[in-house]
Each structure stands twice: as structure tokens, then as C-alpha cells.
Structure 1
Amino acid sequence: MEQFLRQRSAHHAAGSIRAYGSILRRLATSANKRVGSLRPADFEDFFYGPGGLAEKAGRGTLAGYRNRIKQFLSYCHRREWHRLGPEALLDGIDNRSGSQNRNRYRMTRAEIRRLIAAAEDPRDAALVWFVGCTGVRISEAIAMHVRDLSFAKGELYVTLPKTYEEVTYPLSSDLEGALRSWLTHYTEQVGTLKRSYRLFPPYHRVKFAPGGGLTKAGQYNPARPISDPGGDILHPMAERAGIELESGDGWHTLRRSFARILYDDAVHLGHDAALRIVQAALNHKSVKTTERYLGLTAERKQFVQMIKGKPFLTVDLDPGKIADLNERRAGRG
């Protein structure tokens, strides 16, 4: 660490070096192990564990911490002091503060359907159906092509941007109906769909066309991805639907909503591994990341309310012989 700081001091101001030194020394104290022994879980604990950075730091501050640690890990990786690169070690760190992530807005099924009903374009409705039924990231959704959809097999093929791994998703019956309806409209607009076409295309912009004249605005452009799916699509839809999205909310709100709905369904159906099911669906490497998506703080509070000051192993005995601890404390007052 000291060697890294000395090298940085040749090109950075003293204040910047102090900031690097402060966070790296806190990391060293928290992890209490050599650099080569650090694992992704150590960084997740440092950021999101009890007393971690996310309890008090906001999103911007966390991003700064993550960037400084990333620079240090890159330095170590180039010198082969650690076999894992910074991306792998920091994969579970999303720069969001713990309080923000636990309390972020999650839509119900009814709210998602209301959002879909507010769509003015069949493409936009299909895109919300897609993310709402699969939980994929919006970057993964708009990167898809027509060839990535198989109605015959009931499958979707999504490429993960971090690893370029292709993951197969199941096609639910309602999503299939929505996609069939959208592709029918899409075909009517551009003709027979080629396998290389974008599944969710943007519009052509008004511009001069070859040979003179203007390209007609409003036509789909199957060759390019959507550039701003948040500002151009989701936020206007939410406003029309009467759904208030706070600063920072967007397509990831749908991903979190999918996760929570799937988790609640799995618990209701009696699946013992509900959390692992959601982890697999979201392609999270760490179950701690999944817990933050689900916002399990409410369940934690309910657990505390169920247990604190009440009998547990003796609850099946004669209630008359059991004194509620809260009532006893109140009586003393």
C-alpha cells in the first residue's frame, strides 16, 4: 500500500493522496489480511456489512471509495500480487448506499401493468413486459436481436455484458403474448424481420436521405440500439401512469421489482431456497447483492417484532404463567 501511495504522490496532489491512504488503511484494518488473500466477500463486508461504508456514505461518496480501491487493486494485479483483477473483486459493489438500496421503490404487479397500459408505442409496452418478466438489465434488453428469441423452445438468450456469457431465460406465457403482439406490429412497420434486427429498435432521426429528401421521422431503425431508454421511454410512461419515480429510479426499479415479486412467489409456494432462486434469476455472484435488491430490511424488522420481549420456546405453555417482557418493563416505569 505504501509503495502504491508513493507512486501516486508523484502525479497527484497531497489531498488526493491522503484520501487514497485513508480509505486503503480502513480497508486494511477491516479485512486484516494480505492483499493476495482478499476475496470479493471482504469488499462486500467492507462496503455493506455491519458498520460498513454504505451505512453513512451516499452514492457519490461510495463511487469515489470504489474508484480509489479499484486503482489500488489494478496496481496490485499488474504486479501479480493478486490473481484476480479489480472487476472480479469489486463485482458486488454497486456504489449505492445501504440505506438507499434497502428503501428503493419496488413496483407491484398492478403498478407494472399500469405502467404498460400508459405506453403510447407497442415497442415501449413490450420493453416493460420484457424487463418486468425477466429482471434483465436494460442494457441487456436493448442489446438483444430478433435471433435471441425462440418461441418454439420458449426461451430467450441474453448476453451478459460483464462476462459475455449467454444465459437462457424462460419465456412466460404473458411475455410471449406481448412479444408476439409487438413483433406483429414491428413487421407491419419495417417488413419481414431479419434475425440481425434489434428486438427493440429506436426511431430514425430526421435527416437528409441519400438522393435528396428527408428520412421520415417515426420509422423504426432496426440496425441500431435505443440510446436513452430511461429519458425517452420509461419516465414519460411513469408520469402518464401516475407513478412517481424518484431521482435515481429507472429501469433498475423494474429489475428490483421483478426480484421482489419472484422472491415473494417462491416463499408463498414453499420453496426453501427462495433467495437462491432469485440470485440465479438475476445472475448475481453474491447472495448479499440479491439481499440488497430484495430490500429484506422489512423482514428483519418483522423478525425483531416477533421475538423481542416475547416468549419463544415457552410460548406453548400456559399463557397465564408467562409474563410479556414489554408489559413487565412498562410496569416498572
Structure 2
Amino acid sequence: MAEFERYLRFERDLSPHTVRAYLSDIRGLLDHLRGRIEALDIATLRAWLAGQHAEGKARATLARRTACARTFTAYCHRRGWLAADPGLLLGSAKAVRPLPAVLDQEQAQAVLERPPNAAEPKDLRDQAILELLYATGVRVSELCALDVDDVDRDRHVVRVLGKGRKERSVPFGLPALRALDAWCVNGRPLWVGPRSGAALFLGVRGGRIDQGTVRRLVHSRIAQVDGVPDMGPHGLRHTAATHLLEGGADLRSVQELLGHESLNTTQIYTHVSIDRLRAAYRQAHPRA
């Protein structure tokens, strides 16, 4: 397990979250094998996955564990711990990827409206986070990892380190710039401490903000607006992508902004509103 963890971290360069998930999955597989790695064959793998399916595990979970098992068996085969790689024979149904809820533009405006007299550091920070999430569509992990120097105020661009340590620049607008300036000038200096470093967004104790805090604040702000579907930072990411498409952005540009390696991911991740579909139909179809 220790050697497999080093392989995932340093050779595959997977994110800490993915490494934790893979290690948890493999511990479950080894428990199923009762520690006997030599018993790992295609029948055992299928039985392990079938048992989880019978327990009601989601398709997405089963798909991830299948991919994890393939990675593990290939690694064991290369190390000489298995005579053959049983993962090559392991099939997997494609995970269902339902579209998350998305805000329309009026709902997004209501969520982003700044509460009156909100001048406390926490309010300034939360407003800047919400504006930046919606303006850029960055992942919550990417937002938490931002440093002060990653924001180029003159060019209205934020430098983001995404999956696979791939860097990209994402533009943002004036509302996000104003919110960031308010936080950096009137909020962040009041919370800066020995643990702050260069982190752009801080927690109340002065350390870099964590993903759980960001998720809670997004859910809390959205709950304050009547009629708005509950969602977290991923919902704002999806909303940003959808509004870009509705505004006329091409799919390739949205792919670059979101940091997707494949255009297929962007096609699944975004959807076009029914109003835009109707407008395109009326414009294009001869008998509309």
C-alpha cells in the first residue's frame, strides 16, 4: 500500500483527494481478498464489484472503483506481484452523469446581491468568493489554493493551477474585481496571521480557507434566496458555464475556461437552456 501510494502521488501525480479515494478503494479490495494478493484474478474483481452493486453503491462509485482496480492490478503486474493483469479483462458500465441544478441569470443576480451594511471581514470574504466562483467557474479546490499574487487586477485575470498541475488564466469582470479589492483592502489584513502565508482567502483563524468552509458559505447564501435550488460551488461552476454558452461563447472557449482536458467533458458538463434551443429552432427551421 505504501509503494502504491508513492506511485499515485509521484508518478501519476494524482490529486490528494484522488489518492485518498484510491487507497480507500484498494483497502476494501484487499479486505475482500483477506490480504492474499495472489488470489487477485478477474473472477475475484467481478465478485468484489458485484457485492458493492448489491449493496446499492452508485454507478459513479462503481465506475471509479473499477478504474482504481485497473490501476492497481496494472501496477502489481509491473512489479511482478501478479503473473498477469486481470484488470485488462474488467469491463465497466459508463457512469451516469446527471446535470446538476443551475441558476438562471435572475437567480444568480439575487444570490450575488451584497447584503446591506455588510462590512465585516467575513462578509467581504464571502462576497469575494461568491463573485469569483460565478465569474470564473473555477473548482472549489482551485479557489482555495489561490494566492494573492495569482490575481492580476490590471488584466482582470486570475492564474489557476488545475488538475494535473496544469496552469491556466481565467478572466473575471468588474463586480468580482470590486469584491476582491474590498476583501484584500478592508478584510484580509484584519485576519492575517503567522499561518496566512500568501493565501488569498483566509479562515477566521488566519489560515488558508478550506473547501468545507467554502461549501457551507455557498449553501448558506443560496438558502437566503427564495425559490433558488440548493447547490454548492460546483453548481456555481456549472451555472457560469451555462451562462457563457447562453451568451454566445463557443464550446472550445468554455473548455479552456473550465480547464477540461477533453471537449467531451465540457459537452457533458454544460447544457443549453430550452429558451436558447427554441430561439435557434425558430431561426433555423423552415417550418418553425
Aligned partners of 1:266, 1:297: CA distance in 2, in Å? 12
Equivalent residue of 2:199, what SS? coil
Displacement, 1:252? 0.4
1:108 maps to what in 2?
104
Partner in structure 2 of residue 145 of structure 1: 147
Q: Name the counterpart of 2:96.
A: 97
**What is the Cα deviation at residue 113 of structure 1?**
2.4
- From the superposition, tell whether residues 266 and 244 of structure 1 become closer, same or farther in structure 2 (CA, over 3 Å): closer
Q: Which residue pairs with 1:257 in the alignment?
A: 239
Whole-angstrom CA distance in 1 between matches of 2:44 and 2:251: 43
Provide the residue aligned with 1:198 in structure 2.
199
Q: 2:168 matched to 1:167? A: yes
Shift of residue 165, structure 1, vs aligned partner:
2.4
Report the AA paired with residue 64 of structure 1: L
1:177 to partner: Cα distance: 1.6
Structure-2 separation of matches of 1:73 and 1:191: 42
Which amino acid counterpart does residue 131 of structure 2 have in structure 1? W
Question: 1:174-193 maps to which residues of 2 (within 5 A)?
Answer: 174-187=175-188, 189-190=190-191
What's the counterpart of residue 35 of structure 1? none
Change (3 A) 1:145 1:230: closer
TM-score (norm. length: structure 1): 0.57
CA drift at 1:109:
2.8
Gaps of at least 5 residues in structure 2 are 1-32, 79-91
Query: Distance in 1 between the 2:140 and 2:185 partners?
Result: 22
Q: 2:11: which partner in 1?
A: none
1:229 aligns with 2:242: no
C-alpha deviation, 1:278, in angstroms = 0.8
Contact 2:132 2:172 in 1 (8 A): no
Distance across 2 between alignment mates of 1:297 and 1:115 = 20
2:222 to 232, 238, 244: 238
**For residues 52-99 of structure 1, what are the alpha-carbon distances to aligned partners after superposition, in whole Å with 9 as ceiling and x for unaligned?**
xxxxxx98222112212331144235646xxxxxxxxxxxx9x9623x
Task: State the Cα distance separating 1:144 from its structure 2 match.
Answer: 0.8
**Equivalent residue, structure 1, for 2:73:** 75
1:296 Cα offset (Å): 4.5
More displaced 10-residue stretch of structure 1: 131-140 or 162-171:
162-171
Alpha-carbon distance, 1:276 to partner: 0.8
Partner of 1:10: 39
Deviations 1:171-192 (A, max 9, x none): 3222212211221222552479
Instruction: State the number of aligned residues.
Output: 229
Give the TM-score normalised by structure 2: 0.65
Contact 2:112 2:131 in 1 (8 A): yes
SS in 2 for 1:169: strand
The one of 154, 157, 167 equivalent to 2:156 is 154
Q: State which of 250, 255, 262 in structure 2 corresponds to 1:279.
A: 255
Equivalent residue number for residue 51 of structure 1: none
Distance in 2 of aligned mates of 1:139 and 1:155: 18
The reply to whether residue 266 of structure 1 matches residue 248 of structure 2 is yes
Contact 2:144 2:208 in 1 (8 A): no
**AA in 2 matched with 1:18:** A
Residues 200, 226 of structure 1: 8 Å contact kept: no
**Aligned residue in 2 for 1:63:** 61
Sequence identity (%)? 20
CA shift in 2, pair 1:79/1:190, >3 Å: same
The residue correspondences of 1:295-310 to structure 2 (distance < 5 A) are 295-296=271-272, 298=274
What's the secondary structure of 1:163's corresponding residue?
Answer: helix
| AA partner of residue 282 (structure 1) | L
**Could you give the per-residue CA deviations for residues 191-218 of structure 1, whole angstroms, max 9, x where no partner exists?**
79x99332111112xxxxxxxxxxxxxx
1:149 deviates by 1.4
Greater fraction of residues in helix:
2
Q: CA deviation at 1:284?
A: 0.8
The 1-side partners of 2:248 and 2:277 are apart by: 21
Q: Distance in 2 between matches of 1:255 and 1:238?
A: 14
Q: How many Å separate the matches in 2 of 1:18 and 1:191?
A: 53
Question: Is the CA contact (8 Å cut-off) linking 2:137 and 2:258 kept in structure 1?
Answer: yes
Task: Give how far 1:250 is off.
Answer: 1.1
- Give unmatched runs, 5+ long, in structure 1: 1-5, 23-57, 81-92, 205-220, 268-273, 307-311, 325-333
**Equivalent position amino acid for 1:262 in 2:** L
- Assess if the C-alpha contact under 8 Å between 2:244 and 2:254 holds in 1: yes
